[in-house]
Structure 1
Amino acid sequence: MSYSSEESSDEETQERSVIKIILLGQSGCGKTSIVMRWIDHSFTENTATTIGAAFYLKNLMINEKMLSIRLWDTSGQERFKSLAPLYYREAAGVILVLDIQDYLSFEKLKYWMNELRSNCNSLPIIGLAANKYDLFNDQQQQQQEIYEKAEKFAKTINAQLFQTSAKTGEGIEEIFEYVAKSVVEKNSNSLRFKKNNKTGQSHLVVGKIPQKQVKNDNGGCC
């Protein structure tokens, strides 16, 4: 499996299918740093707070098929939570992020799961990132408790837990690879793609398509 962020010709783009993945988690847990580590292998200590949501696009080869990963990094700030459901639409994969040092960031995961259940026709593939793992110390009781609770939580939501660090790069490629590959494998027998008549791209659809959308499906998806 390989990654590419290079520009492609129109012909290549026509053949490319799109998978939408969103990142959810409390503000400050490191979502943007995870994205930037994956997109361009960079890390910045003081990352600006995401306003609303930020969009990224990266190409990914899975089973000899090129996919375009549309990545939405959502804000975890309270004042932007009402906007989050706008980005759930047709999400095939989700990366939930917690800060291994912050118990509240773990507790907030329950909120995001409730949001997903309320706004998605069927639950997307979920990867759970125990982030800032470079700071993990098994001698610190709070960190140990957070990680153990994250392990149990991952099992209850049928998610895969990853130890991630945007600073060192640990677990970053693995979690994105897991989510994207699992989406393809989960839907291998019933993949349905909506063609965007404006761009020529096909967009992977997970769950039911609203009837209104079926009748008028000329536009793209966020």
Structure 2
Amino acid sequence: MNTNVKAGPPTFKLVLLGDGRVGKTSLVLRYVNNVFSDSQAATIQASYLTKRLNISGTILTLSIWDTAGQERFHALGPIYYRDADAALLVYDIMDKDSFTRVRNWVKELRQMASKNIILAIAANKSDLVRSQKIDLQEAERSIREKENYYGRAFLYSTKERDGYY
């Protein structure tokens, strides 16, 4: 939690990481603005959104950084996850390579981000689950064993606005 801000509600910084075209922008736009587009343009560098939350009567601001997933922007990652309270690592359930790179993000965050960062993994595009190429339980077990990951993994469909874990 960012406690440097003196006025206003506490702010929590969340960064979305993952390959390009896995649905990070669609996921955050669905969450913040409740909109979805089948033709969402790729994010260039990063975009920033906020959402006010009321949790048990306490008002909080969620500061969300939606990063570009293209490999050429990977080196900018530390700029966005520096001082992050949480990271949501997103992969496309249809793209096994995007899952492999999520494992790399877990390693990188363990080495370079705050030791208290909260990690979660989203297997996006679950509306396409009939042709799923990655088993969610196997994915979570693999990351727990190899990357010392203690967060949660969940399936989500930004398009249909549903998910489970």
Give TM-score scaled by structure 2 length: 0.87
Give the deviation of 1:145 after TM superposition: 3.6
1:132 corresponds to: 125
Which residue number corresponds to residue 91 of structure 1?
84
Matched, 1:147 2:136: yes
1:118 is matched by which residue type in structure 2? Answer: Q
The equivalent of 2:114 in structure 1 is 121
* Structure 2 counterpart of 1:161, from 153, 156, 160: 153
What SS does the corresponding residue of 1:14 show, helix, strand or coil?
coil
List alignment gaps of at least 5 residues for structure 1. 1-12, 176-222
Take 1:119 and 1:88, find their aligned partners in 2: how far apart are those partners?
9
Distance 1:32 1:41 in 2: 12
Instruction: Give the number of equivalent residue pairs.
Output: 157
Q: Are the counterparts in 1 of residues 19 and 101 from structure 2 also a CA contact under 8 Å?
A: yes
RMSD: 1.9
Q: Deviations over 1:166-217 (max 9, x none)?
A: 101113xx89xxxxxxxxxxxxxxxxxxxxxxxxxxxxxxxxxxxxxxxxxx
Deviation at 1:148, TM superposition (A): 3.9
Which of 8, 13, 19 does residue 26 from structure 1 map onto?
Answer: 19
Q: Unaligned regions of 5+ residues in structure 2, if any?
A: 1-5
> Is contact 1:21–1:93 with CA below 8 Å preserved after alignment?
yes
Partner of 1:194: none
1:154·1:161 contact (CA, 8 Å) conserved in 2?
no
Contact 1:154 1:160 (C-alpha < 8 Å) held by counterparts: no
Q: Distance in 2 between matches of 1:135 and 1:119?
A: 34
User: What code does the residue aligned with 1:147 have?
Assistant: L
Counterpart of 2:46 (choices 50, 53, 56) is 53
Q: CA deviation at 1:126?
A: 1.3
TM-score, normalised with respect to structure 1: 0.66
Partner of 1:215: none
| Structure 1 match to 2:103 | 110
Give per-residue Cα distances to partners, 1:80-111, cap 9 Å, x unaligned: 01111101111001111111110001100122
Instruction: Give the letter for the 1:65 counterpart.
Output: T
Amino acid at match of 2:108: E
Deviations 1:39-60 (CA, angstroms, capped at 9, x unpaired): 1111101111111111001101
Identify the structure with the greater strand proportion. 2
